[in-house]
Chain A
Amino acid sequence: MERNNQLHRQVILSRQSLFDQGFLDEQFLQLEELQDDANPNFVEEIVTLHYRDSARLILSIEQALSVENFPFLNPKLLFSYLFYCLVQQVKRQLWCLKVASFLCLCRERNPLDFNKLDSLMHQFKGSSSSIGAKKVKAECTLFREFCSAGNGEGCIRTFQQLKKEYATLKKKLEAYFQLARQAGPAQTACRPK
C-alpha cells in the first residue's frame, strides 16, 4: 500500500514534470481524457503507434537531408575529397576549410529538395502534435521555416536537434508508462489518493 502510494505519487510527479518541462502540451491532456474503462491504455497505445509510424518519417527526412558523402562512389566528389585530404595533410588548422569544401561540394551535388522536406515534415509535425509533443513540434515548425527559406544548413541543424528531442521524449514517456503500469490501474494522475 505504502509502496503503491509512493508509486502513484511518483507517477503523478513524473507526469507533471513532463508538462512543466515543456515536453508535453494540452493535447496530451486530451488523450488522457479519452482514456476510459473501455480503453484503459489508450494513451500508451497512441504514443506507441505514433513512435512506430513516425520512425519511418524520420528516416525519410534523414534520407532527404543526407548528402552523398562517399566521394568514392561519386566521382564528382572525388576531387573534393582529394582536396580535402590534401588540405588535411598540409595544414591541420585548415579543418574548417576542409569541411566546408567537402560539404559544399557534397551539397552542390545533391541539392536539397525543400518541397519534399517540407511535405515530410508537415506530416511529421501533424503526427507529433497529435500526441502533444511540444518541443518536437517546435522543432518541426523551425525546420519548416528553414525549408521555406531554402536554408539547408538550418534544416540540417534543426533536424539534429529535433531528433534529440524526439528521442528524449520517447524515453521519458516510456519510463512514465512503465511507472504507471507498475503503480497499477487504479492510479491516474487525476485521481487523488
Chain B
Amino acid sequence: MNLTNGKGSMSTASSSAAWRAGDVVPDQFPAGLRVLVVDDDPTCLMILEKMLRTCLYEVTKCNRAETALSLLRENKNGYDIVISDVHMPDMDGFKLLEHIGLEMDLPVIMMSADDGKSVVMKGVTHGACDYLIKPVRIEALKNIWQHVVRKKRNEWKDLEQSGSVEEGDRQPKQSEEADYSSSANEGNWRNSKKRKDEEEDAEERDDTSTLKKPRVVWSVELHQQFVAAVNQLGIDKAVPKKILELMNVPGLTRENVASHLQKYRLYLRRLSGVSQHQNNLTNSFINPQEASYGPLSSLNGLDLQTLAATGQLPAQSLATLQAAGLGRSAVKSRMPMPIVDQRNLFSFENPKLRFGEGQQQISSSKPMNFLHGIPTTMEPKQLANLHHSAQSLGGMNMQVNAHGGQGGQGDSLLMQMSQSQSRGQILNETTGSHVPTLPSSIGQPVLPNAVVGGVLARNGLAENGRGTGYIQVSQSSSMLNFPLNSPAELSGNSFPLGSAPGISSLTSKGTFQEEVNSEIKGSVGFMPSYDIFSDLNNHKSHDWELHNVGMTFNASHQANSLQSNLDVGSSVLSHQGFSSSQRTGQNRNISAVGKPIFTAGDATDHVNANNVGPLNTFFDNSVRVKSEIVPDANCDTNIFSEQFGQEDLMSALLKQQQGGVAPAENEFDFDGYPLDNIPV
C-alpha cells in the first residue's frame, strides 16, 4: 500500500493513536485519516473496515444512519470523511449526506451496487464528493484523502475570496507548508494534518489565529443566525466579516463563516436553479429577501410572494424572504419557486438550510406580486396568498430563522397585517390585485409566512412564525406555512390555513413542532412548531408566522391551533395543494394542507406516516400549489383554473378530509373558504 509511506513503523492501529498525540509527523498523512463508514450490510461493512485499515486509516463503522449521525454530532471534529451506502433501511443515504453536509460539512462518499446514471447524478446533486460502485476495491479507497484535502482547500479559497483573509491567518499557511513537523506542537493534530496537504494551508495555525479553529458544527440555531445575518446584509453584500459581526457568536471565526457562506450560496443557487422555471408564477413575490430581511414589517406583497416563491427554495429562501421583510415589496429575490420548484425544493433531502440557493432565489428580482397570483375567487387567492406567503415564508423562514431580529420584524408585520388586513387582503386577494396591496403588511407576511413557514418547516428553520397576525391575514400565509416546513419558528401563528397541514405533513419530519404552536396566536393557530428553530423563530412572529404556519405542518402538533384559521386557509390550500399536488399523489397531504394547519399536527402525523418519504414532494405540491396561485395575478386565475377548479378543490378537499389525511382534528371544517372566518 502506498499508504505505508513513512508509516512503516506504524503499521498497527496504535500508530494512529500516536498521530493523535500530535507529535506524529504530518508527513504521514493521509495515514490516520479518520473515516466513518455507514452501511447496513455487515459483510460490506467488515470488508470496508479492513480495507480502510489496510490503507492506514482510522475507521469507525456503524450500520445505521442514525448512529452515524449521533456519532458525528457527539464528536464534532472526530472524523475527516464519511463513507455511506445509498440504500439503508432507516434513512436514505442521500438524506444522511445532506445532514452531514449541513451540520458538519464533512466530505461524504456515497457507495452503492447501483451504478445507474440517475443514482450517481443524485449523489452529485446532493453534494457527495464521490460515488463508489460496489464491490469497492481497495484502490478506490486509497485516494479518498484527496476529498478531505480538496475541501480544505476550497474552504480556504472561500475565505480568501470573501476578503476576510487575515494576515494572521494566512501567514501560517505559507510557513506551514513545509512545516509539517511543527504541527505536532500545535494542539490539533488533525487540523494540521488536513491543512498541510493544501498548499495554502498552513498546517500550523497560531493559537490566536483562526486557522486552528476546531471544526465548527453548524447547528440549526447557528445556521439560522447565519441566515438571518445574511439576509440582513443582503446576499450580495454578505461578507463573512460582517456576518460574523452580526452573528456575534463567540468562538466563530471568519473562516468558518466564509466557508459556510459559500456552501449556502451554492445551496441557494441549486435551489434557484431548480425553481427557475417556476418562477414565472411566483416571481412576483419573491423579492430578494436578503436585502429586506430586516424589516419584516415592510413585508409587502412582494416580499411575501417572494417568500412564497422562495418557499420553494429551501428554507433559506424562505428565511430570506422573511428576513427581507415580508413587507418588502422590493424583494428581488428570484422568483419564488413555483410550485414545481417547491416540489423540487422539497424533494431535496434535507431542505434544512438550503442556503445559497434559497437566498439567491429570494433575491431574484421577481416583483413581488406576491398576491397577484391570487385568483379571483377567494379561495384561490387565499390559497395563492398562502401559497405565496408560504413560499416566501419558506424562503424567509429559512433565512430568517437565523435572524431573530428579522423575524421580529416580520412577525410584527405579519401580526399587524394579518390581523387587520389579512382578512381583507385575503378576501381581496381573490382579485389578485389586492394581494399586492397586502404588502408590507399582511399580504406579504402572510404569504411569505405561509411559504416560509412551509419552507421553514421543511427546512426546519425556526422562523418565528408569529403568524398570529398573519394567519389572519392571509389564508395564504397559512398556505404558505403550510407548504413551508419552515422551522418551528413559524410557530404556526401565521398560517392556520391549510398550508400548515400540508407543510406539517411534510415537515412533520419532526423539525418544527413545538415552536410553531406557541407562535400561532389566536386566530391562526398555526403552530409552526419547528422545533429546530423554534427558539430562534420565536421572536420573529410576524414573518415567521407565516413560516410557522408552514412549520406547523411539520410540527404536526400544530393542527390544533391552526384549526380555526386553517380552515379557511387549509381548505383553500388543500384544494390547491390537492390539485396541484396531483403529481405526487399525495392527496392526503394536500388535503392535509387544506385542512388547516391545525390538523397539521394530526395531519402531519398522519400524513407523515404516509408520506414521510415524500415529504418533500408533498411539500412541494402544497407549496407549489400556492406558489402558483399566488404569483402573478394573471397567472393565478389561469393557474387556478388549471390547477383546480374551485369545485374540484372543494370536493377534493372535502374528500380528502374525510379520507384521511388523518387529521384527527377536523376542527376546521372547511366549508368553502370562509375567509371571514379566519379568526384574526
The chain A residues found within 8 Å of chain B, CB to CB, are 27, 30-31, 33-34, 36, 39, 42, 45-46, 49-50, 53-54, 119, 122-123, 125-127, 129-132
Closest Cβ of chain A: how far from B59's Cβ, in Å? Answer: 13
Determine whether B112 belongs to the interface, using a CB cutoff of 8 Å to chain A. yes
C-alpha spacing A119/B114, complex, angstroms:
11
Interface size class of B (residues with CB under 8 A): 10 to 19
With a cutoff of 8 Å between Cβ atoms, the chain B residues found around residue A126 in the complex are 41, 44, 112-113, 134-135
Known: A53-B41, A127-B43. A122 touches B138 (CB 8 A): no
Given contacts A42-B50, A129-B113, contact A33 B138 (CB under 8 A): yes
With A30-B135, A33-B138, A125-B113 known as contacts, the answer to whether A46 contacts B87 (CB < 8 A) is no
A119 adjacent to B43 (CB under 8 Å):
no
Asked if residues A130 and B114 are in contact (CB atoms below 8 Å), the reply is no
In the complex, whether B21 has a CB less than 8 A from a CB of chain A is no
Q: Which 10 A-B pairs rank lowest in CB-CB distance, beginning with the nearest?
A: A126-B113, A50-B43, A130-B135, A129-B135, A27-B135, A34-B50, A130-B44, A127-B43, A126-B134, A127-B41
- Interface assignment of B249: CB less than 8 Å from any CB of chain A: no
* B138 and A119 form a contact (CB under 8 A): no
Find chain A residues with CB under 8 A from B136 CB: 130
Tell me the bound Cα distance from A88 to B50 in angstroms. Answer: 59
Are B135 and A132 in touch, CB under 8 angstroms?
A: yes
**Contact in complex: B43, A46 (CB < 8 Å):** yes
Q: Specify which chain A residues have a CB less than 8 angstroms from the CB of B42 in the assembled complex.
A: 49, 53
How many pairs of A and B residues are in contact by the CB < 8 Å rule? 57
Q: List 6 A-B contacts (CB under 8 A).
A: A30-B135, A46-B46, A50-B43, A127-B43, A129-B134, A132-B135
The answer to whether A49 touches B43, judged by C-beta atoms less than 8 angstroms apart, is yes
Q: Which residues of B contact A30 (CB under 8 A)?
A: 51, 135, 137-138
Contact of B134 among A31, A33, A45, A130 (CB under 8 A): A130
Distance between Cα atoms of A50 and B134 in the complex (Å): 15
Answer whether A34 and B47 are a contact pair too, CB < 8 Å, given A125-B113, A126-B113, A129-B113: yes
Q: How near does chain B come to A16, taking the closest CB pair, in angstroms?
A: 21
Assess the A123–B87 pair: CB atoms within 8 A. Answer: yes
B36, chain A: closest CB distance, angstroms: 19
Residue B589 lies at the interface, judged by CB distance under 8 Å to chain A: no
Give complex CA distance A125, B54 in Å: 25
Collect the chain A residues with CB atoms within 8 Å of residue B41's CB. Answer: 53, 123, 126-127, 130
| B113–A34 CB distance below 8 A | no
Q: Would you give the shortest CB distance from A192 to chain B, in whole angstroms?
A: 23
Q: Given A34-B51, A122-B114, A123-B87, is A49 in contact with B46 using a C-beta cutoff of 8 Å?
A: yes
Contact pick for A34, options B40, B54, B87, B112, CB 8 Å: B54
A contact residues around B54 at 8 Å (CB): 34, 36
Complex Cα distance, B409 from A3, in Å, reads 88
**A6 CB → nearest B CB, Å:** 31
Docked Cα-Cα span, A36 to B138, in Å, equals: 15
Chain B residues with Cβ below 8 Å from A27 are 135, 137
Residue numbers in B under 8 Å from A127 (CB-CB): 41, 43-44
B505: min CB distance to chain A, Å? 22
State A49–B41 Cα separation when bound (angstroms): 10
Contacts of B138 in A (CB 8 A): 30, 33-34
Q: Give B50's nearest chain A residue, CB to CB.
A: A34
A45–B113 Cα gap in the complex (Å)? 22
> Using an 8 Å CB-CB cutoff, how does the interface string of B104-143 with A read, 1 for contact, 0 for none?
0000000011100000000000000000001111100000
Smallest beta-carbon distance A142→chain B, Å: 15
The answer to whether A122 and B113 touch (CB under 8 A), given A33-B138, A130-B135, is: yes
On whether the beta carbons of B87 and A130 are closer than 8 Å, the reply is: no
Q: Mark B26-60, 1 if CB is under 8 A from A, else 0.
A: 00000000000000111110110011001000000
Q: How far is the CA of A10 from the CA of B90 in the complex (A)?
A: 45
In the complex formed, the residue of B with least CB distance to A125 is B113
CB contacts (< 8 Å) of A122 on chain B: these are 87, 113-114
Q: Mark B47-83, 1 if CB is under 8 A from A, else 0.
A: 1001100100000000000000000000000000000
**Beyond A122-B113, A123-B87, A130-B47, 18 additional pairs, beta carbon < 8 A:** A27-B135, A30-B135, A30-B137, A30-B138, A34-B47, A36-B54, A45-B46, A49-B42, A49-B43, A49-B46, A50-B43, A123-B40, A123-B41, A125-B113, A127-B41, A129-B113, A130-B44, A131-B43
